[in-house]
Structure 1
Amino acid sequence: MPAGAPDLSLRAAAARLLLPAGVDPDALPLLVARALRAFADGYMAVLLPAFLLAAGWGTQEVGVIATTTMIGSAMATLAVGAWGHRFHSRSLLRGAALLMAATGVGFATWSSSFLALLVVALVGTLNPSSGDVSVFLPLEHARLSAAAAGQARTTLFARYSVLGALSAAAGALAVGVPDWLAGQASIPRLTALRAMFVLYGAIGLVVWWLYRRLPQAAAAGPGPAVPLGPSRGVVVRLAALFSVDAFAGGLVVNSLLALWLLQRFGLSLTQAGSFFFLSGLLSAASQLAAPLVAQRIGLLNTMVFTHLPANVCLVLAALAPNLPLALGLLFVRSALSQMDVPTRTAYVMAIVTPAERPAASSFTAVPRSLAAALSPMLSGALLSAGFIAAPLVACGVLKIGYDLALWRAMRSEKPGS
C-alpha cells in the first residue's frame, strides 16, 4: 500500500459520512474544525461564570468579561472584512487557531488579575454564546459557500451547524469534569477549572493542524476581495435586521443563561451541563431538519416561522414559577430556535452574486458581532441587580420584533442558486 493511503482512505470515509453529495471534499477539514471548536465552546460557555466566581469575581464581572469577549470577536471580524483580502483565508484561519491556543493559556494563567483577563478576552477567541460569533465564522462560510451550490449548499451549512450543535452539546457534558476531578483526585476546584482552559488551548492547536490541510488555492478566493455591488442594498437591510437579533441573543448567551439557572433555581454545574447537553441535542436535530423544511416552505419562511414560537417560549420560561416548567419551555425553544442558523447563512449566500459572497458574509457578520457584544454586560447588570427575569423577557420580545420585521422586509426577495 502506498504511503499515505490509510490517511487518504480515512479522509474519504469521513468525507462520505459528513459531506452531502455534490460538495467539494476540501470542505471536510472545515467541518471537523467546526466540531472541535464547538466542543470547546460548549463547555467554556457554561464553565466561564463558574470559573470567574471561583476565582473571586462577581456577577457583574461575568457580564463584563462576556461582553469583552464578544467585542473582541467583533473587532477581529471587522478587521477581516476590511483587510482580509490582503491575506489568504487559510493563513487567517491558521492565525485564528493559534490565537485560540493562546486564549486558553491566558485564562488559565491570569485568573487572579481582572485586567489581564479583560485583555485576553478582548484579543482572544473565547465564545460565551450558544452559536459561533467568532472571527472563524466569515472565513469558514466564504470557503464553504464555494464548495457547493443550490440545495447542496443549504444541506452543507446544515451539516456544519449540526456538527457544531452536537459537539457543543457534548462539550456541555464536560463541565462536570472539574468537580469530578476535585472530588476523586483531591485537586483544588479552581485548578481543575484552569485545566479546562488548557484543554481549550490544546484544541486550538489541533484546529491549526486541520487548517494546514486546506488547499492554498480555493474557489472562494483569498478573502473579501470583491466589494458589494448590486446586492449592497439587500445586504445592508439583512445586516441591520441580523444586528437586532444578535443584540437580543447577547442578553441570553449560554454563559448568562447558565448563570440564570444557577441563581434562579440553584442548579449545580453538572446539572446545568446536562441541561445544555440535552438542549444542544434538540438544536442539532432541528438544524438537521432545517434543509428539509426549507425545501418545502422556503428559506425565509423556515427562518421566521420556527423562530417566532421559540421566542414566545423564552418569554414564558422567564416567568415560569418552577424548574420543570422553565426547563420544558427552554427545551421547546431549543428544538425550534436554531433552525434559522443554516437557513440564514444559505439565504445570505443565495441572495447575493457569487463574487460578493465573501464580502456579504463579513458585512453581515460584523454588525451581528458588534450588536451581540453590547448586551451581555447589560444582562449581567440586570442579574446582579436582582432583575432575574428581565434579560430573558427582553431577549424574547426583541427577537419576536426581529422575526416580524425580517418577514416584512424580505418576503418579496427571491434568492438565487
Structure 2
Amino acid sequence: MKHVRFHATTCLFTARALRDFGDGFVAVLLPVYLLALGLTPLEVGVISTASLLGSAFLTIGVGLLGARYGHRPLLLGAASLMIATGVAFAAIDAYALLLVVAFAGTINPSAGSVSVFVPLEHAALTSAVSDADRTKMFARYSLVGALAAAVGALVAGAPDLLARIGVDTLIAIKAMFILYALLGLIGGVFYARIPKRRPVRNARSASALGPSRGIVFRLAALFSFDAFAGGFVVQSLLALWLFERFDLSLAAAGVFFFCSGVLSAFSFPVAAWLSQRIGLINTMVFTHIPSSIALMLAAIAPTLPLALGLLLIRAALSQMDVPTRSSYVMAVVTETERAAAASFTAVPRSLAAAASPAMAGALFAASYQALPLLICGMLKIVYDLLLLTQFRNIRPPEES
C-alpha cells in the first residue's frame, strides 16, 4: 500500500514540475509575445482576464466531477487541453481567436497554483498522507512546482539568446509554446501511471459539499477577495510593469523571475516548519502582511535595483500561505468533500482574479503604472486581517 501511494505521489509531483516549468516561461513570454503581435497593454490584460476566467469554470467542473469519475481521467483530459493550448498559441495571431484559446485553454498568466489541475492533485495527494504529515507534503509539492516554475522563468530568456544568432524572436517565442504543448504530453504520461481509484458508490453525494459547506463557502469568499487583489499583479503583468517602468530586458526578467521563484520555493518548507509552531492560520497571515508592504514599497521605488530587491523580499514571504492554505482546506472538510472543497476554494484564484488584470491593463494604458501594485498590497492586507479574525479558532486536527 505504501509503495502504491509513493508511486502516485511521485507521478503527481513529476507532472506538477513539468506543468509549472511550462507556466514559468509562458507567464514571462506572454506579454512580450502579445505586444510583438501588435496588441496593446489593455488587450494583454484582457487576455490574462480571459485565461483566469476560463480556468475558473474548468476548475468548478473538475471539482464537481472529481469523485464521480476519478482523478486520473480528468487529469488526462486537462493534460490534453494543455497540449492543444500550446499548439493553438503558436499557430494563431488574431486577437479574437487568442481570447477564445485563452478562455478555453490552460494558459496561466500567474505562473502559480491557478489551474484546473490543482483540485484534482490536492484531493489525490491528501489521501496518501496522515494529518500530521499533510502540511509537509503540501510544502514539498509546492516546492517542486515553484522550483520548476523558477527554472521555466529563466528559460524565458531563450528567445533573446536565439536572436543573437539570427533566429527571429517571434518564431523563437512560438517554439516555446510548442515546448509548452510537449510538456503537457509528457505530463499526461505520468498522469496515466496514477493507480485507478475505486469508484464511489454514491457519486452524486460524494461530488458535492456536505457538512463542511459553510466553512468552505466562507473560505471561498475570503480567497475570492485575496485572488481579486492578486490579479492586479499576476506575473505577466508584473513583467509588463518591469518592461515599461524600467525598460528591463527579457533575459534580465527571466533571471529575476528565476531568483524570485527560488526564494518562493524554499519558503514552503519554512512555512511547514513555522505552522507546526504557530499554527496554519497564523503562518498564512503573519507572513503575508510583510510581503504586501514590500510590494507597495516596490511600486514607488525610484530605481530598478531597489524595486527588484523589494520584490525579492516579497517573493520570499508572499507564497508561504500556499502549502498552509491547501493543508488547512483539506484538514477542515471530510474526505468525500475534498475534491469539491479544493475546487470551490481554488476557483477564486481564477474567477475573482479574472477582473483585475483587465483593470490593471487599463491603468497601465493610462500611465498609472504604480497603482496596480499599491491596490494589490492594500487589499491583501485587508484579506489577511479578515482571515485571522474569522478562522483563528477553527483549528485542523493536528492543532486540536
Query: Which TM-score bucket, shorter chain as reference?
Result: over 0.9
Q: 1:209 matched to which residue of 2?
A: 189
1:195 to 169, 172, 175: 175
Q: What is the TM-score normalised by the length of structure 1?
A: 0.91
Q: Deviations over 1:23-71 (max 9, x none)?
A: 6432111100111111000000000000111111111111011111111
Pair 1:245-2:226 in alignment: yes
1:139 to 112, 117, 120: 120
Distance 1:177 1:239 in 2: 38
Q: Deviations over 1:112-142 (max 9, x none)?
A: x111111111110000003121110001111
- State whether residues 63 and 120 of structure 2, in contact with CA within 8 Å, keep that contact through their aligned partners in structure 1: no
- How many Å apart are 1:219 and its aligned residue? 9.4
Q: Secondary structure at the match of 1:295?
A: helix
Q: 1:75 matched to which residue of 2?
A: 57
- How many Å apart are 1:84 and its aligned residue? 4.2
Q: RMSD of the alignment, in Å? A: 1.9
Distance 1:238 1:296 in 2: 23
| Partner AA of 1:189 in structure 2 | T
Distance 2:284 2:3 in 1: 24
Question: 1:196/1:204 Cα in 2 relative to 1: closer, same or farther (>3 Å)?
Answer: same
Pair 1:290-2:271 in alignment: yes
Q: 1:234 matched to which residue of 2?
A: 215
Q: Secondary structure at the match of 2:170?
A: helix
Q: Secondary structure at the match of 1:228?
A: coil
- How many Å apart are 1:285 and its aligned residue? 1.0
Distance 1:224 1:161 in 2: 30
- How many Å apart are 1:155 and its aligned residue? 0.8
Percent identity between matched residues is: 57
- State whether residues 216 and 344 of structure 2, in contact with CA within 8 Å, keep that contact through their aligned partners in structure 1: yes
- State whether residues 139 and 269 of structure 2, in contact with CA within 8 Å, keep that contact through their aligned partners in structure 1: yes
Q: 2:162 matched to which residue of 1?
A: 181
- How many Å apart are 1:414 and its aligned residue? 1.5
| Partner AA of 2:42 in structure 1 | Q
Q: Secondary structure at the match of 1:251?
A: helix
Pair 1:53-2:69 in alignment: no
Mapping of 1:159-178 within 5 angstroms?
159-178=140-159
Distance 2:352 2:127 in 1: 28
Mapping of 1:15-414 within 5 angstroms?
24-111=6-93, 113-184=94-165, 186-217=166-197, 225-414=206-395
Larger CA deviation: 122-131 vs 363-372: 363-372
Question: 1:141/1:301 Cα in 2 relative to 1: closer, same or farther (>3 Å)?
Answer: same
Question: 1:83/1:272 Cα in 2 relative to 1: closer, same or farther (>3 Å)?
Answer: same
Distance 1:220 1:176 in 2: 47
Question: 1:224/1:416 Cα in 2 relative to 1: closer, same or farther (>3 Å)?
Answer: farther
Distance 2:200 2:319 in 1: 26
| Partner AA of 1:121 in structure 2 | A
Distance 1:294 1:21 in 2: 28
Q: Deviations over 1:226-254 (max 9, x none)?
A: 43222111111111001111111111000
- How many Å apart are 1:86 and its aligned residue? 3.8
Higher normalized contact order (CA 8 Å, seq sep 6+, divided by chain length)? 2
- How many Å apart are 1:82 and its aligned residue? 3.6
| Partner AA of 1:32 in structure 2 | T
- How many Å apart are 1:196 and its aligned residue? 0.3
- How many Å apart are 1:367 and its aligned residue? 3.1
Q: Secondary structure at the match of 2:397?
A: coil
| Partner AA of 1:191 in structure 2 | I
- How many Å apart are 1:402 and its aligned residue? 0.3
Q: Secondary structure at the match of 2:157?
A: helix
- State whether residues 80 and 188 of structure 2, in contact with CA within 8 Å, keep that contact through their aligned partners in structure 1: yes
Larger CA deviation: 79-88 vs 61-70: 79-88
Q: Secondary structure at the match of 2:368?
A: coil
Q: Deviations over 1:86-123 (max 9, x none)?
A: 42221110010011000000000002x11111111111
Distance 1:130 1:366 in 2: 15
Structure 2: segments with no counterpart, 5+ residues:
none
Distance 2:307 2:200 in 1: 44
- How many Å apart are 1:365 and its aligned residue? 1.6
